[in-house]
């Protein structure tokens, strides 16, 4: 009887103890925090486990929260930083890849509307996503946001730094998240840091508390990777030490070495500053190129996606400023060298001046422009197709990267030999087979390419 009484007391006081400890965490936060428990700024955050999804939201007063989904519920972690908002992060678990999940979040008994998302099946044969950088809150940025909201086929958005341009004004972040909620409550936005996430008076603290890539509140991993159908995506930080010997470089080397190409044949590295840019405002980050280009080439990275310069530029497959391949009719075969993209045209003021003459490695560039990029992995075709859309909906640039060698289909003849192109294709496939054998014996790219003269 005595044991039962003790158990009863423990059960009764447990929620109080729990609430007190959460309140203590929230009380540590400075600021007035007088307001509502209505959830705002609701956004999904992809974990490295396809069967779970994090959701973060904000309230203007201290409260504890929970998420409900598919008949289940989980409590949130509740926290804040030096800003008059409380933040809540909860994890939805036991998700089935490819299923639709309906969820809502609540704080202090005040619930959000219902939202739905479809979990990503990493073994799917098809995947669409949007990539942007250098966003902000201009009318052009809102046009890009509206385009993302109206895109019902993209399954994630990546943003390579310079996200809201709050620059120390924290209400800018609040407004930015509220505007993106319609998209971010439905598909996760996956982020890397730019120089504008290092805020005056706050450093990376707002970024660390408002996004999550490691499931830990009040901490952020600035370099991490995610597997999606057909694509291994690396999010690195050009705002932290990336030189050989640094923690980030060691992690990059380990991560890129561990990619299983039979599952994810394509590899993309997202960062903020570009190692190839012919915009005169910032230009190529030579220190970055010196530090990591060889590693990316050696490990067979297919795309390096950056921002920072507010324009659009695509390079040819390039190594040490030497063009390795110019493709055929907008099609490239992977495995030659990385294609570098600067996509810093998602809304922040456009940079006009370009270096002249256009460098040889620059395949296409466009200034005074705004827009977003749309990517598709098609496992049947074994290729990634890429399109740069301007905010008026016109196409600025497009190309495809194939996993296999390019086969030119035509009935032409050359020197009286019918089907000459087919013969070339066969020779190309034979060459690719030799190259694959060579790769299995050493670095991913032939050594001669690494030693090409600048
Ligand atoms: Fe920027
Ligand atoms: Fe930047």
In the chain, where are the structural domains located?
Answer: 22-118, 126-406
Q: How far is the CA of 374 from the centre of ligand 1 (A)?
A: 20
Distance 385 CA to ligand 2 centre (A): 26
The class level of CATH for 22-118 reads: mainly beta
Q: What is the pLDDT of residue 213?
A: 74
Closest C-alpha among 268, 229, 265, 262 to residue 121: 229
Cα of 207 from ligand 2 centre, angstroms: 15
Q: What is the pLDDT of residue 425?
A: 44
| Ligand 2 centre distance from Cα of residue 301 (Å) | 23
- Hey, is 237 helix, strand or coil? coil
Task: Please name which ligand lies nearest the alpha carbon of 285.
Answer: 2
- Cβ neighbours of residue 21 under 8 Å, at least 6 residues apart? none
Residue ranges in the chain whose pLDDT is less than 70: 1-33, 217-220, 408-454
DSSP state, residue 279: B
Instruction: Tokens for 12, please give them.
Output: 């009764």
- State the ligand closest to the CA atom of 239: 2
DSSP secondary structure string, 15-83? Answer: HHHHHHHHHHHHHTS-S---S----EEEEEEE-SSTT-EEEEEEESS---EEEEETTEEEEPEEE--SS
165 and 172 in contact (C-beta within 8 Å)? yes
Q: What's residue 114's pLDDT?
A: 98
Q: What's the gap in Å between 192 CA and the centre of ligand 1?
A: 13
Grouping H, G, I as helix, E, B as strand and the rest as coil, residue 344 is coil
Q: Which residues of 47-57 are buried (b: 16+ CB within 10 A; e: fewer)?
A: beebeebbbbb
CB 125, CB 229: distance < 8 Å: yes
CATH architecture, range 126-406: 4-Layer Sandwich (3.60)
Same fold, 22-118 and 126-406: no
Cβ neighbors of 278 (< 8 A, separation 6 or more) are 284, 313, 354, 355, 358, 359, 362, 365
Distance (Å, whole) CA 173 – CA 179: 10
> What pLDDT, on a 0 to 100 scale, did the predictor assign at position 24?
54
Surrounding ion ligand 1 within 5 Å at CB are 134, 162
Residue for token pair 């958005």: 157
Report yes or no: 346 and 370 within 8 Å, Cβ to Cβ: yes
Question: Which numbered ligand comes closest to the C-alpha of 274?
Answer: 2
State how beta strands 322-323 and 266-270 pair: unpaired
Cβ partners under 8 Å of residue 4, min gap 6: none
CA–centroid distance, residue 449 to ligand 2 (Å): 31
Tell me which residue of 37, 33, 39 sits closest to 178, measured CA to CA.
39
Identify whether the C-beta of residue 58 lies closer than 8 Å to the C-beta of residue 39.
yes
**252 token code pair:** 């990059």
In tens, the pLDDT along 212-253 reads: 877 776 666 899 999 999 999 999 999 999 999 999 999 999
How many CB atoms neighbour CB 138 within 10 A?
Answer: 16
Angle at 348 between CA 84 and CA 223, to 5 degrees: 70
CA of 383 to the centre of ligand 2 (A): 30
Q: Which ligand number lies closest to the CA of residue 195?
A: 2
Distance 393 CA to ligand 2 centre (A): 25
Give distance in angstroms: CA of 134 to centre of ligand 2: 7
Closest listed ligand to the CA of 163: 1
342 Cα: distance to centroid of ligand 1 (angstroms): 11
134 Cα–ligand 1 center, Å: 4
Q: How far is the CA of 150 from the centre of ligand 1 (A)?
A: 24
Task: Extract the runs of DSSP E, i.e. beta strands, from 125-250.
Answer: 126-132, 156-160, 189-192, 224-228, 231-235
CA of 371 to the centre of ligand 1 (A): 14
189-192 and 156-160: which strand pairing?
parallel
Ligand 1: distance of its center to the CA of 245 in Å? 28
**164/46 Cα distance (integer angstroms):** 20
CA of 282 to the centre of ligand 2 (A): 9
- Distance of alpha carbon 18 from alpha carbon 180, whole angstroms: 32
């Amino acid at each position: 009887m005595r044991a039962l009484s003790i158990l009863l007391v423990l059960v009764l006081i447990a929620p109080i103890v729990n609430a007190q400890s959460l309140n203590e965490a929230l009380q540590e936060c400075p600021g007035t925090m007088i307001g509502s428990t209505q959830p705002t700024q609701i956004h999904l955050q992809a974990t490295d486990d396809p069967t779970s999804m994090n959701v973060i939201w904000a309230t203007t007063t201290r409260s504890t929260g929970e998420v409900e989904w598919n008949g289940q519920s989980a409590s949130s972690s509740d926290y804040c930083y030096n800003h008059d908002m409380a933040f809540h992060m909860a994890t939805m678990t036991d998700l089935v890849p490819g299923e639709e999940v309906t969820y809502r979040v609540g704080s202090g008994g005040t619930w959000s509307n219902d939202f739905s998302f479809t979990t990503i099946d990493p073994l799917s044969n098809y995947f669409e996503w949007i990539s942007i950088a250098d966003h902000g809150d201009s009318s052009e940025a809102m046009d890009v946001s509206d385009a993302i909201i109206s895109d019902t086929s993209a399954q994630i958005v990546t943003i390579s730094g310079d996200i809201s341009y709050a620059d120390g004004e924290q209400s800018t972040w609040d407004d930015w998240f509220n505007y993106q909620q319609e998209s971010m409550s439905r598909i996760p936005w996956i982020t890397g840091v730019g120089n504008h996430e290092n805020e005056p008076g706050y450093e990376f603290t707002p970024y660390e508390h408002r996004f999550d890539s490691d499931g830990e509140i009040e901490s952020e991993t600035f370099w991490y990777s995610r597997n999606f159908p057909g694509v291994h995506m690396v999010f690195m930080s050009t705002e932290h030490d990336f030189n050989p010997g640094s923690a980030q470089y060691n992690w990059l080397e380990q991560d890129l070495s561990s990619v299983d190409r039979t599952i994810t044949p394509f590899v993309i590295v997202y960062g903020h500053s570009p190692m190839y840019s012919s915009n005169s405002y910032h230009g190529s980050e030579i220190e970055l190129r010196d530090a990591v280009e060889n590693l990316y080439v050696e490990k067979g990275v297919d795309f390096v996606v950056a921002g920072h310069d507010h324009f659009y530029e695509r390079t040819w497959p390039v190594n040490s400023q030497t063009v390795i391949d110019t493709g055929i009719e907008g099609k490239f075969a992977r495995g030659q060298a990385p294609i570098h993209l600067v996509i810093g045209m998602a809304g922040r003021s456009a940079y006009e001046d370009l270096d002249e003459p256009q460098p040889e490695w620059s395949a296409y560039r466009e200034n005074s422009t705004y827009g977003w990029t749309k990517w598709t992995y098609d496992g049947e075709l074994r290729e990634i197709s890429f399109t740069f859309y301007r905010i008026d909906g016109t196409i600025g640039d497009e190309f495809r990267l194939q996993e296999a060698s390019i086969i030119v289909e035509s009935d032409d003849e050359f020197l009286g030999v019918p089907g000459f192109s087919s013969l070339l294709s066969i020779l190309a496939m034979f060459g690719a087979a030799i190259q694959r054998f060579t790769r299995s014996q050493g670095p991913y790219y032939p050594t001669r390419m690494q030693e090409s003269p600048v």
